[in-house]
Structure 1
Amino acid sequence: MMDEARYNQLVAAVFKRMLSAADGIDPDVLEADVTGDMLTLTASSREKCIVNTQRAVRQMWVAGKSQGIHFSYEEGTGTWKDDKGRGLELFSFVAEVVRDISGADFTYPS
């Protein structure tokens, strides 16, 4: 299992990248709020996408599209992949959820 310092570094990068994407969307369409280990993306419809840490198992958890998905970091590829092997990637999944709940494109900065 990865050490806590590495996990914290990765989580900070995830939240920073997602907040940067949210900054590109009108706040009347989508609001982003970070509280501790949780990032909440709320659409004007009041629907939410929640990204949360799962520190004990060094994963990220996303609630959206009426499901909760756990993502584990793969050092070899440098990506967060779902832990059930469905081929879901964290950033793409969150972008899909945001598009579904808000109609906005959730574009990550390069």
Structure 2
Amino acid sequence: MMDEARYHSLVAAAFKRILAAADTFDPDVLEAEATGDKVTLTAASGEKCIINTQRAVWQIWVAGQGQGIHFSHDDATRAWKDDKGKGLELFAFVSDVVRHLTGEPLVYPS
């Protein structure tokens, strides 16, 4: 069951994982910035992928590739899945956006 403390813990873990993957990029290719409730990934072209909390509904929102997708945590699979049932998963979606921006996917450390 989701509550505020669990939501914050899950978001912190997700942001940490995304930032760790972004840190493997040359900063001239992809720069990552974390500011509280938001992670911004900026490519050399100036294009961005923004990952932001949506506290009121306990979701994570990702803007990239001209889309805004809301992800809810699914306890059964322990994954952040899109709230429209399109089969999108948070980390895979962010990796695809980064591939679109840089030509290289975001690869998450084990």
Query: Could you state the TM-score of these two structures normalised by the residue count of structure 1?
Result: 0.98
Mind listing any 5+ residue stretches in structure 2 that lack a counterpart?
Answer: none
Mind listing any 5+ residue stretches in structure 1 that lack a counterpart?
Answer: none
1:33/1:39 contact within 8 Å kept: yes
Aligned pair 1:71/2:71, yes or no? yes
Deviation at 1:39, TM superposition (A): 0.2
Q: Which residue does 2:93 correspond to in 1?
A: 93
Q: Distance in 2 between matches of 1:44 and 1:55?
A: 30
Q: Distance in 2 between matches of 1:46 and 1:85?
A: 30
- Aligned pairs for 1:44-59 (under 5 A) are 44-59=44-59
Indicate the percent of aligned positions where both proteins have the same amino acid: 68
Q: Distance in 2 between matches of 1:81 and 1:18?
A: 16
Aligned pair 1:34/2:34, yes or no? yes
Letter in 1 for 2:101: I
Q: Distance in 1 between matches of 2:95 and 2:105?
A: 7
Letter in 1 for 2:5: A
Query: Could you state the TM-score of these two structures normalised by the residue count of structure 2?
Result: 0.98
Q: Distance in 2 between matches of 1:102 and 1:48?
A: 10
3-state DSSP of counterpart to 1:81: strand
Q: Distance in 2 between matches of 1:14 and 1:85?
A: 20
3-state DSSP of counterpart to 1:77: coil
1:29/1:104 contact within 8 Å kept: no
Q: Distance in 2 between matches of 1:104 and 1:44?
A: 13
Deviation at 1:104, TM superposition (A): 2.0
- Tell me how many residue pairs correspond in the alignment: 110
Q: Which residue does 2:109 correspond to in 1?
A: 109
1:65/1:97 contact within 8 Å kept: yes
Letter in 1 for 2:42: T
